[in-house]
Structure 1
Amino acid sequence: MPDESALRTVDVARESGYSVQQVRDLERLGVIPAATRSSNGYRAYAPVHVRALRAYRGLAGAVGPVAARQLMADLWTRTVTEAAAAINAVHVGLARERDEVLRAQKALWAIESEAAHHGAVEGADTMTITELAAALGVRTSTLRFWEREGLVAPERVTSLRARRYDAPAIGAARIVAALRGSGYGIPAVRDIIDSLHSLHSLREGGGPERVRHILVERLDRIGARSVELLRAGADLAAVLDSLTPARDPAPAPA
């Protein structure tokens, strides 16, 4: 007797919002489990296939289609506990991205606040280590420490290899001083400077307003991706419900 609850490919396509060909392609890629075959050879799907395709759509919006395909294909091989941990890692990743942008925004505020009080530093073409330390209100040993930590890279131009700081190095030192003065530790300062470099704010110009705009746009994108992940939540839960329960731990040896 035929299964009354079985869905045809066209039914799954209609319910999930994908085309018939996309349903077949996503099945081939492992995003959904292989359909069973009826006696006449036609594919027979279950409601969980529809929920899985909807879950994939949300994941694709959150982490991109490639990562979403890999994650969905992996979920079918996991226990409920393992799959739940994999999905939780996506939430954690988005939260981490958001924290990094918020930290960069705070850093930008610190940089602009410091610049208002030490604008003269910005106007210099080159400075010695003594001049720069005096301008920033730090010790020369502090500048050497920042150099060892890879935060500031001065030039060495004299026969005695004395340090001189050109405009980019002065700008970097000013940023480091602002962040350290705002309570950021060295690892956090390094992360922030790397983030700002990736935004081309130190080397390619654009000014604070451009950086601020980029950071706001990035927060908006992260927010939209988080919404997509939340939207997929119920469908992901249905997928997890269809998986193998968590395995009992092996008994300890006697």
Structure 2
Amino acid sequence: MGEPVSGAERAALRTVDVARESGYSVQQVRDLERLGVLPPAARSGNGYRAYTAVHVHALRAYRGLAGAVGPVAARRLLAELRTGTLAEAAAAINEVHVRLARERDEALRAQQALRAIQAEAGTPEFEQDGDAMTITELAGALHVRTSTLRFWEQEGLVTPERVTSLRARRYDLSAIRAARIVAALRGTGYGVPAVREIVGSLHRLDGLGATGHILQQRLDQIATRTVALLRAGADLAAVVTLPAEPTTTTTTTTTTTRPVR
């Protein structure tokens, strides 16, 4: 969570004050206001920006949200939080938590599937060539469409054997193992190029180990994103509940320096 903002919550702050409190530079503060991360600052009598503590909270919340869902989604979410009701804001934040939990569950299922494959790899049954599946049987076992298996074949991810004059597909145990790994990786959000590279390494002795390492990295990334969201929690609450308008504005006059706009 962010540190408490010094001074009254609605006291007017200069751009440099907001930058110092939030950890962003003065230029970043201006840029993020222009992008809609911050509500528009009020203007003092001399035309200079007058921020409040809610702008600081918004910047801190943005940092956490960007770490959790990416900068584009974070900007959109903050805009929704400022304009929606409290119930809508709570629902939007809860949806991010649910999404991260779903990604974690998918990665854990993929990890469990990989461990099962590793356990099978050393058994005599796995080495036998008698067991095979048709495309319909394999699609049913993986809970995917047959068209998905054909797409994976086109992309070089899974290579079945072909039998009969009708070129019916037959998947041996090697192809079944590859298909299960592809399904696990695709289920955790990996794109086709990344999956292709992983599947290509399976002929090496460390192929399954490398895949396991990638899945663990995925789980670590999800954990980092979840912590970032948790850290943003108090600041998000402040963005929803605190007013953005200052109660007072400051007018600074000097002949030697100019206030930061």
Please give the TM-score of this superposition, normalised by the length of structure 2: 0.71
Give the Cα–Cα distance (whole angstroms) in 2 for the partners of residues 160 and 191 of structure 1.
26
Number of residue-to-residue matches in the alignment:
211
Give the Cα–Cα distance (whole angstroms) in 1 for the partners of residues 117 and 200 of structure 2.
17
Alignment deviations for residues 20-64 of structure 1 (CA, whole Å, 9 cap, x no partner): 111111111111100111111011111111111111111111112
Could you tell me how far 1:219 is from its partner in structure 2?
1.1
Alignment deviations for residues 156-184 of structure 1 (CA, whole Å, 9 cap, x no partner): 3432545444xxx53242477xx8xxxxx
Give me the identity figure in percent.
60
Give the Cα–Cα distance (whole angstroms) in 2 for the partners of residues 17 and 161 of structure 1.
63
Specify the alignment match of 2:73 in structure 1: 67
Higher relative contact order (CA 8 A, sep 6+): 2
2:95 is aligned with 1:81: no
Specify the alignment match of 1:132 in structure 2: 131
Segments of 5+ residues of structure 1 without an aligned counterpart are: 125-130, 134-139, 180-188, 244-254
Give the Cα–Cα distance (whole angstroms) in 2 for the partners of residues 97 and 157 of structure 1.
38
2:12 is aligned with 1:6: yes
2:137 is aligned with 1:145: yes
SS of 2:13 mapped into structure 1: coil
Paired residues for 1:162-241 under 5 Å: 163-165=169-171, 170-174=173-177, 192=184, 194-195=186-187, 198=191, 199-200=195-196, 203-206=199-202, 207-241=207-241
Give the Cα–Cα distance (whole angstroms) in 2 for the partners of residues 58 and 132 of structure 1.
50
SS of 1:203 mapped into structure 2: helix
Alignment deviations for residues 104-123 of structure 1 (CA, whole Å, 9 cap, x no partner): 110011111122223424xx
Give the Cα–Cα distance (whole angstroms) in 2 for the partners of residues 9 and 105 of structure 1.
47
CA contact (8 A) 1:56 1:72 kept: yes
Paired residues for 1:33-48 under 5 Å: 33-48=39-54
Structure 2 CA distance for partners of 1:226 and 1:147, relative to 1, 3 Å: closer
Specify the alignment match of 1:49 in structure 2: 55
Structure 2 CA distance for partners of 1:102 and 1:164, relative to 1, 3 Å: closer
CA contact (8 A) 1:172 1:202 kept: no
CA contact (8 A) 1:8 1:45 kept: yes
Specify the alignment match of 1:249 in structure 2: none
Give the Cα–Cα distance (whole angstroms) in 1 for the partners of residues 214 and 185 of structure 2.
15
Greater mean alpha carbon deviation, residues 150-159 or residues 39-48: 150-159
SS of 2:83 mapped into structure 1: coil
Greater mean alpha carbon deviation, residues 6-15 or residues 142-151: 142-151
Greater mean alpha carbon deviation, residues 203-212 or residues 103-112: 203-212
CA contact (8 A) 2:182 2:199 kept: no
Structure 2 CA distance for partners of 1:18 and 1:160, relative to 1, 3 Å: closer
